[in-house]
C-alpha cells in the first residue's frame, strides 16, 4: 500500500477552543511524475516547522543518546513517543550525544514536521508516551535557521562527586564516588593547565568520530558543599569520553597519586594511554548547550535548582 504525507492545520472555533483538521493526503509512491508533483504541491501547501525541544533524562537505564538496534536509547524512546503523538515517524537531531549512564538536564533537540501544533501540545503529548525517566521540559517553534547541533556555541557538563569512605546508596547513579580525600586547591591548579584551545587527543576515546581533537575548554569550576564536589566543564564542544577522561586525571591529582606536572605532560603527549582511566558515568550530567541570544533558546530547567 502506498504511504501518504498529510498536512494538518488548526483553527479556533467561536467558543475559542483550538481544533485541528487534517488536510488532503498525498501519496509518496506511485507514478514518478505524479509523486513528484504531489510532493511539490505538499511542500507549497504545508511548509515544514522546526520543532525545538528541551529534554531531561536519567541515563542509567539507557545505552546513551544515539539510536541503536536494541532500541534502548534515549533517542529511540523519544522518537517512539513522538511517532505515537504525531501518528508518524519523526527524526530528531540533538545538541550533544551522551554516553550510556549519563544524565541530561536540558538536551536540546530539533525535528522538522508539517504538523501544526501548539508548543504546549508537543510537551504534553510527547510526555504522555515517554517513560518516567525521560521528559520534554519545553518546546519552541522555529524555522530552519536554527540547528540544535551546529548552532550551539558551547556546551556544559557537570560532575557531582561524593567524597566518602563509604560508597553512595541513596545517591547511587546520581553521583560519582571517591573514597580518597581530595585536595581542591591541587585540582583547581591542575584544571587551569587544561583551559584554552588544545589538542585533547590524550583525553579522547578510541571510538571518537570527531573530525578534529582540537577543542576550546573555556572553564572548569570546582566547588564543594559538605561531602559533595561539583566539577563544571564549559567548552565549545567535547570529544567522546573527554569529560570522563579529564575527570579521572583531575581526581588522580586531587588524591595525590599524580602531580600537576604529570597532567601537563599528558596533555602535551596526545597519548590516551598516559592519562588516568576513564571515570564512571555515575554523577555526570549534560547541563545543556547554549546558543546565540537571537535564537532565545532556554538554558535552564527546574532540575538545575535540584542539582548540588
Average pLDDT estimate for 3-29: 46
Q: Which helix (H) or strand (E) holds 306?
A: helix 303-306
Q: Compute φ and ψ for 188, nearest 5 degrees.
A: -65, -40
Look at residue 30 and tell me whether its pLDDT is greater than 60: no
282 has pLDDT over 70: yes
Domain chopping of the chain, boundaries: 47-151, 154-294
Catalytic residue flag (residue 76): no
- For residue 308, give every residue at least 6 positions away whose Cβ sits within 8 Å of its Cβ, in sequence order, or none: 160, 225, 228, 230
User: Average of pLDDT values for 22-46?
Assistant: 48
DSSP H or E stretch at residue 286? strand 284-290
Predicted confidence band of residue 7 (pLDDT cuts 50, 70, 90): low
User: For the packed helices 184-194 and 242-254, what is the interaxial angle rounded to 10 degrees?
Assistant: 140
* Confidence at residue 16, expressed as pLDDT on a 0 to 100 scale: 45
Confidence at 6, pLDDT banded by 50, 70, 90: low
Among 4-8, 90-94, 152-156, the range scoring the smallest mean pLDDT is 4-8
CB 182 within 8 A of CB 163: yes
Residue 35, pLDDT > 70, answer no
Residue 27 has pLDDT above 90, yes or no: no
Higher pLDDT: 308 or 193? It is 193
Write the Ramachandran bin of 239: left for phi over 0, alpha for psi from -120 to 50, otherwise beta. Answer: beta
How much is the average pLDDT of 122-134? 98
| Res 308: pLDDT | 77
Selected catalytic residue, list 99, 199, 299, 305: 99
Looking at the structure, give the CATH architecture of the domain made up of residues 154-294.
Answer: 2-Layer Sandwich (3.30)
What's the CATH code, domain 47-151? Answer: 3.30.70.580
Q: What does the pLDDT read at residue 45?
A: 60
Region 78-90: mean pLDDT is: 95
Could you give the CA distance from residue 70 to residue 83 in angstroms, rounded to a whole number?
A: 18
pTM: 0.85
Same fold, 47-151 and 154-294: yes
- pLDDT for 21 beyond 70: no
Amino acid at each position: 500500500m502506498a504511504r501518504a504525507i498529510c498536512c494538518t492545520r488548526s483553527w479556533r472555533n467561536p467558543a475559542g477552543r483550538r481544533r485541528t483538521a487534517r488536510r488532503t493526503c498525498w501519496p509518496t509512491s506511485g507514478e514518478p511524475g505524479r509523486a513528484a508533483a504531489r510532493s511539490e504541491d505538499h511542500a507549497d501547501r504545508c511548509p515544514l516547522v522546526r520543532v525545538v525541544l528541551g529534554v531531561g533524562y536519567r541515563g542509567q537505564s539507557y545505552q546513551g543518546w544515539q539510536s541503536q538496534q536494541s532500541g534502548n536509547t534515549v533517542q529511540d524512546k523519544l522518537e517512539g513517543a513522538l511517532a505515537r503523538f504525531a501518528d508518524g515517524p519523526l527524526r530528531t537531531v540533538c545538541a550533544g550525544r551522551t554516553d550510556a549512564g549519563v544524565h541530561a538536564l536540558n538536551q536540546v533537540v530539533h525535528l522538522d514536521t508539517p504538523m501544526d501544533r501548539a508548543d504546549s501540545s508537543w510537551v504534553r503529548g510527547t510526555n504522555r508516551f515517554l517513560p518516567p525517566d525521560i521528559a520534554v521540559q519545553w518546546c519552541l517553534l522555529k524555522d530552519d535557521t536554527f540547528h540544535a547541533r551546529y548552532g550551539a556555541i558551547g556546551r556544559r557538563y557537570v560532575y557531582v562527586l561524593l567524597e566518602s569512605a563509604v560508597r553512595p546508596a541513596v545517591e547511587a547513579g546520581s553521583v560519582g564516588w571517591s573514597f580518597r580525600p581530595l585536595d581542591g586547591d591541587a585540582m583547581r591548579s591542575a584544571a587551569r593547565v587544561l583551559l584554552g584551545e588544545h589538542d585533547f587527543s590524550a583525553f579522547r576515546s578510541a571510538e571518537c568520530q570527531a573530525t578534529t581533537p582540537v577543542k576550546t575548554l573555556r572553564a572548569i569550576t570546582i566547588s564543594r558543599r559538605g561531602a559533595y564536589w561539583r566539577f563544571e566543564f564549559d567548552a565549545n564542544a567535547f570529544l567522546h569520553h573527554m569529560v570522563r577522561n579529564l575527570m579521572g586525571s583531575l581526581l588522580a591529582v586531587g588524591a595525590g597519586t599524580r602531580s600537576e606536572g604529570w597532567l601537563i605532560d599528558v596533555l602535551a603527549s596526545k597519548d590516551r594511554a598516559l592519562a588516568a582511566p576513564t571515570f564512571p558515568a555515575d554523577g555526570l550530567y549534560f547541563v545543556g548547550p547554549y546558543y546565540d541570544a537571537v535564537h532565545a533558546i532556554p538554558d535552564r530547567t527546574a532540575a538545575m535548582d535540584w542539582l548540588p
